[in-house]
Structure 1
Amino acid sequence: MFKRLSLLFVGLAMTAACSARPADDASTPAYTEGTQYVATGAPQRLDPKNGKVEVVEVFSYGCIHCAHYEPKVEQLQKDLPKGVVFHAIPAAFNDAWLPYAQAYYAAKKLNALPATHAALFKAIHEEHYPLRTLDELADWYAQHGVDKAKFLAAANSGETRDRILADTKLIQAWGIDGTPTIVVDGKYRSAQIKDFDELNGVATFLVDKELKGGK
């Protein structure tokens, strides 16, 4: 059932949204629709019931660019204006990334994300642990205090399956084919970004735009 979800992404290019170069001049941003950001094809919020401005990071533990971006997105969350909500959703672009999406939602259900989110990026991309299968991930989470049986039950649950399927459809509707990508209010997503500072700058710019009523 889970493997069939990745078929929804056949044909999508797994290109990175940015590289890790310093920003040229973060103090004077000039962001243009059609360049640094674009309108999504079908405006749709992750949480339509919440009226607050919404920022969503689309990521994967399997994406090295997301691992490099993690300290910056943590800073972005701290810098967002009061009342703006932040969400992260894991992209399951293929079978290789599907276990990471399952792991994210299992950790979230078990309240393990605060202690494991950044650590998992480090384990995969810096420490090069062999964390490719759900069972390998379950063992890693167990080493961080998460009950393995509960983790696997949550990862393989219908609730997690349905959440990943809904994410997949939403990511497609937003026109996303690479990670990390930032989406604001379901209306705009980051596009041609030269570095992580610019990605945060675009996110802040779009949040301000939405707070001003889209002007």
Structure 2
Amino acid sequence: MKLNFYKIIKKISLGLICLSLINAVSAQTRPIEEGFDYRVMPAPQAIEAKGKIEVLEFFWYGCPHCHDFEPQLDAWVKRQGKDVVVKKVPVAFRDDLLPHSQLFYALETLGKSNLHAKVMETMHVGKKKLLTESEITEWAVSQGIEREAFLKAFKSFTVTSKARSANQIAQAYRIDGVPTVAIQGKYITSPSITSGSKARAIEVMDHLVTKVRKEKR
């Protein structure tokens, strides 16, 4: 009996797809577990939002996974209670990426944090790196920000200090990839930790916030 090579390949491909779907469903239905869905910090970090549940989102503007995760994360933030405080922490894994962190804090200083998603859209949809001071400044001006005001904020001591401090925070949390979410200074999760599932990461974040609420009682 002569076997059809292409039929064999098709069957193998279908089998792998089915296996992937089974694994995805299994990940969604099994109980949330430490070590599989989240990690516990060896030493809890101090939190600034006293009396609140503090959530830190570590990200980098140039990260495609951060861009992909942003819509789900934004929706999650909007449905949190008043006892939850969410802060974004830009991470620059190399010195030449620090301008992206400065951009984040410059926009914050100028009251333009609403342009956060626009930065990612420009970089990942518009394919612009926005890595040099001149590129970043021209982009800011194109968004209606006055040139001198932006440059003053971008190069200010406050903004550059915040950008470097953000890296120190990331190091304290042992962040080696983004996006990563830290909850109450001791729990870490991310789509990569949850086997690449953004939906699972959101589910785990809900679980951890509930867990912290119970611990605070």
TM band (smaller chain): 0.7 to 0.9
Structure 2: any 5+ residue segments left out of the alignment?
1-20
* Greater relative contact order structure (CA < 8 Å, 6+ sep): 1
1:117 corresponds to which residue?
Answer: 116
**Once the 2 structures are TM-superposed, how far is the Cα of residue 55 of structure 1 from its aligned partner?**
0.8
Structure 2 counterpart SS, 1:58: strand
- Quote the Cα distance in structure 2 between the aligned partners of 1:46 and 1:90: 17
Pair 184,214 (structure 1): closer, same or farther in 2 beyond 3 Å? same
Other structure's SS at 1:213 match: helix
Amino acid at match of 1:160: V
Normalised by the length of structure 1, the TM-score is 0.82
Higher fraction of helix:
2
AA matched with 1:74: D
Cα offset, 1:25, TM superposition:
7.0
Distance 1:168 1:42, change over 3 A: farther
Question: Which structure 2 residues correspond to residues 177-188 of structure 1 after superposition, within 5 A?
Answer: 177-188=176-187
After superposition, the CA RMSD in angstroms is 2.2
Q: Report how far residue 180 of structure 1 moved.
A: 0.2
> TM-score when scaled to structure 2?
0.81
Distance in structure 2 (CA, Å) of the matches to 1:30 and 1:138: 47
Partner of 2:88: 88
Q: Give the Cα separation in 1 of the matches to 2:154 and 2:71.
A: 26
Q: Deviations over 1:5-42 (max 9, x none)?
A: xxxxxxxxxxxxxxxx9x63787462211221111233
Pairing 1:201–2:206 present: no
Deviation for aligned residue 1:93: 0.9
Cross-structure match for 1:50: 50
Matches within 5 A, 1:1-215: 24=25, 28=29, 30-47=31-48, 50-114=50-114, 116-190=115-189, 192-193=193-194, 194-213=196-215
Contact 1:106 1:160 in 2 (8 A): yes
> 2:28, 2:200 within 8 Å by CA — same for their partners in 1?
no
Cα distance in 2, alignment partners of residues 44 and 202 from structure 1: 20
Give distance in 2, aligned partners of 1:42 and 1:55: 17
Supply the distance in 1 between the matched residues of 2:68 and 2:46 (Cα, whole angstroms).
Answer: 26
Q: CA deviation at 1:125?
A: 0.5
Distance in 2 (CA, whole Å) between partners of 1:46 and 1:147 is: 35
The structure with the larger Rg is: 2
Q: What is the count of residue pairs matched by the alignment?
A: 193
1:159 Cα deviation after fit: 1.0
Q: How far apart, in 2, do the equivalents of 1:207 and 1:110 lie?
A: 31
- How far 1:177 sits from its partner (Å)? 0.4
SS at match of 1:151: helix
